[in-house]
Amino acid sequence: MPVADLQDRLAYLRQHIPDDVAELQQLLAYFDAAYVSGVLRRVPNTDSRRLLLHARRTPPLFPPTVWNVHEATLANRERTNNVCEGWNHAFANIVGHRHPSLWVLLGALQQDQTLVATALLQEVRGQPPAKRIKRSVHHQQQRLQKLCRDRRDGLKSVKATLRALGHRPLRAAAVKTLTFMEL
């Protein structure tokens, strides 16, 4: 959801959460305080002649501009830090074990530097390495982009968008199983 619409979406969720499920209400209140609106804090009263309660809203611990990936989804950019995770995994494979000696670590850093220099040279030549993307990830990205565009353009309501986001399509193996079981 766009950052500007988060307050409205939270209000929608508050209206539609069942009253008898306290855990969901607590989860939504936590999410609102930590990720969207922040917390109301009491400010000390400086006027001793009046009994006033002053409060101010503190910003959320994790503001929406940090975690919201709506714009990244529409622009087909990375939504996670998987690039960093990938480098960590590749470097661990180069090193070969958990507690390397200084010489093993230096050799691994040199090997990593060589790999990066090769990739940069290929990029300069116009031969960027082909990025492998799983078919399922590609389809999921297209689905999320369509849902974001439909909501942005007013083609889907908030309710329809939230329902669609909560629905996970069946995998091909599950569809084959269902078809076989129906026979």
pTM of structure: 0.59
Q: Residue 123 corresponds to which tokens in the numbers above?
A: 């990029």
Each residue's pLDDT, cut to its tens digit, for the chain (183 residues) gives 888 888 888 888 888 888 888 898 999 999 999 999 988 888 777 777 776 777 788 899 999 988 888 888 888 888 777 777 888 888 999 998 889 999 999 999 999 999 999 989 998 998 877 777 788 888 888 998 999 899 889 898 888 888 888 876 655 544 444 444 443
* CA–CA–CA angle 143, 144, 145 (5° rounding): 90
Q: How far apart are CA 110 and CA 4, in angstroms?
A: 46
- Tell me the C-alpha distance between 160 and 148, whole Å: 12
Which of 135, 152, 132, 9 has the alpha carbon at shortest distance from 71?
A: 152
SS3 53: coil
Domain regions of the chain by residue span: 1-68, 69-132, 134-183
> For residues 68 and 81, is the Cβ–Cβ distance under 8 A?
no
